[in-house]
A and B are shown apart, each in its own frame.
Chain A
């Protein structure tokens, strides 16, 4: 028993140590994400968007006379760290709302914890359908996997008018597998033919063996629902072995680094996205201008835009809520309707998913040529 007393004492000391700052005149909003580790690039982008949104609001005087304070915790891209930091944010930092994460698997860990504690959680970019099914406190501002798979299948059949597609998925990645599965069923339903469906492994840097296999089956398009760093390399290596099919991808492709890695090889390929930097919509133009000014001329990717929108939606809900109670904020987030965000008009449906359209863009060096908008 003595040991427990010691543990308890140390815990209590740690608790006092960490909670000595005064927190009455600020609104605490929590964010958890992978700022280090394998998936760090996603967490960092999202974090940039969220920080910018809250700083803008604070510059205008905050909400209800109070400033917003963002408490960001790094989960290192690890599962058990996620459980710890989310518990910490909710019970120790006493946040009123939670934003995160990009990876669906880690949102699935956080969602039940937020639900149990009655804290509203808004995921900026977890596209797996299961996430928001964890409870009525869980929301998202992006579309879900099935929709994106459908968008690209529709685009291939209707716009590119092709019949033979290959799928090149990232094995063991929930996002990639989700998109690939829906693309396969939808493409077949629309009369297309999947000639080959193979995978690559996380952390792969060499794709030539699989690409040669794909080449032998002569598809018109290859659906590559992975992330930009893989897609860039895949495009490059496809070109090296003279595989000429058009590549199609999802929002995971969206990054200024896509063409840096892919070089010329990535030009002319298509991917679906939440928004296009080419848009003349004043909201988007303004967002890109401010983002570039703040972050050293960096072009914001989709994750940054979604982080920004998620933060703004939470802020607006807090503004509308009568009191600073998590349950009231939750109700207001649920009522979000026609919110004009960078990534389109966002309304929450009964399943707490954002209903919005997707755009298809074509890669052209640094530019993303807008091709078409596909509605749900």
Chain B
């Protein structure tokens, strides 16, 4: 009984909270909240590769782009079912987008994961750019103009009580965030996860212990690309528009910043830094009223980044989780 009851109560709770947020806030804040989830999934998935497996990828935006474009193409070029069925349909589409992004991850990872450190970084960056340049030249995907009119999440009418687009979007986002969180969380507790960690700690020693390090790296990379694709699907639905210009190298950089800022290999750390990265620039927006129209937002942002790195090199949480940070004598929870 409990197995059904708990998720049901959780779903109901989310629904109520989502509707409440929908009523209390305006669409600007709603969009920021949705972006919070997009960034969280992006950060968590990259953390699997950069944080836990110790492989330095700079091409995350490429996989986000694949997911976003697959979603955009399927939902704009084929009819979308109306009504209640639309939500599971969108979830199925985003699942497909994730799978395709994961497949891309496999083919990118297979050759490039032989490389190490900065070389791997620059090759993944290269793959990310190649994906973007290719999209720019594909007229089926709208070329540089991209794809517009991507459908938002549907409104659901429950016999008079309407669940707003925002509430369904939030449910969609929370659904994927939870899956992403727990898949990665459980993965790390499994023997695969131990392999990832051992590759990070000492690749040669791991190999000596009989671990197939290449396989472990590729596994981590594929799972990470899959969730990057999911983040892309969310991005496409929430902005209703994708173009190659959205998925530049700067997006990959943002993802890396989230991982390092939160502390490499800390799930809650990444979530916290995703929150900071999303919300801080928005709060700084109103600063303009006090500086006479001079926009110091990005300058403060970049200085904050430098200062945090200098003053707290291990990131906000190091490799600890928020739950273990207060307990003493616990070296690491993962």
Contact = CB atoms under 8 A, between A and B. Distances in A.
A and B touch in the complex (CB under 8 A): yes
B301 to A, nearest CB: 11
B31 A10 contact: no
A84 B29 CA distance: 9
A104 B282 contact: no
A56 to B, nearest CB: 19
B297 to A, nearest CB: 8
26 contacts: A4-B17, A10-B279, A14-B282, A15-B25, A78-B245, A78-B246, A80-B235, A80-B246, A83-B241, A84-B32, A87-B26, A90-B27, A105-B146, A105-B243, A105-B245, A108-B145, A109-B241, A112-B148, A112-B149, A112-B241, A128-B145, A134-B149, A171-B137, A172-B143, A173-B144, A177-B143
B11 interface: no
A87 B289 CA distance: 18
A110 B90 CA distance: 23
Contacts of A18: 285-286, 289
Given A4-B17, A8-B24, A79 B239 contact: yes
B314 interface: no
A157 to B, nearest CB: 28
Given A7-B36, A128-B145, A171-B137, A79 B17 contact: no
Interface of A: 1, 4, 7-8, 10-12, 14-15, 17-18, 21, 35-36, 72-74, 76, 78-80, 83-84, 87-88, 90-92, 104-105, 108-109, 112-113, 117, 128, 130, 134, 171-174, 177
A171 B136 contact: yes
Given A18-B286, A36-B295, A177 B144 contact: yes
Q: Which of A72, A73, A80, A104 has the most chain B CB atoms closer than 10 A to its own CB?
A: A80
B185 interface: no
A81 to B, nearest CB: 9
A105 B36 contact: no
B211 to A, nearest CB: 36
A74 B32 CA distance: 16
B129 to A, nearest CB: 12
A213 B137 CA distance: 21
Nearest to A13: B283
Given A4-B21, A11-B32, A128-B145, A109 B245 contact: no
B244 interface: yes
Given A79-B241, A112-B148, 12 more contacts: A8-B21, A8-B25, A11-B33, A83-B238, A84-B28, A84-B31, A84-B35, A92-B29, A105-B144, A117-B27, A172-B136, A174-B143
Nearest to B297: A74
Interface in B208-247: 235, 238-246
Interface of B: 13, 17, 21, 24-29, 31-33, 35-36, 136-137, 143-146, 148-149, 235, 238-246, 275, 279, 282-283, 285-286, 289, 293, 295, 298
Nearest to B148: A108
Closest 4 CB pairs of A and B: A91-B26, A172-B144, A18-B286, A87-B28
B144 A36 contact: no
A104 B241 CA distance: 13
Nearest to B14: A1
B182 to A, nearest CB: 15
Contacts of A108: 145, 148, 241
A354 to B, nearest CB: 21
Nearest to B286: A18
Nearest to B136: A172
Q: Which of B31, B137, B146, B279 has the most chain A CB atoms closer than 10 A to its own CB?
A: B31
Given A18-B285, A177-B144, A11 B29 contact: yes
A265 B231 CA distance: 49
Contacts of B238: 83
B173 to A, nearest CB: 12
A371 B29 CA distance: 51
Contacts of A11: 25, 29, 32-33, 279
Nearest to A103: B245
Nearest to B21: A8
A18 B286 CA distance: 6
A79 B147 CA distance: 12
B32 A172 contact: no
B240 A79 contact: no
A359 to B, nearest CB: 27
A174 B241 contact: no
Contact of B244 (A7, A17, A87, A172): A172
A113 B298 CA distance: 25
A88 B285 contact: yes
A15 B29 contact: yes
B239 A91 contact: no
Contact of A79 (B36, B149, B246, B283): B246
Contact of B286 (A14, A78, A117, A128): A14
A14 B279 CA distance: 9
Contacts of A112: 148-149, 240-241
A113 B27 CA distance: 10
Nearest to B287: A18
Contacts of A8: 21, 24-25
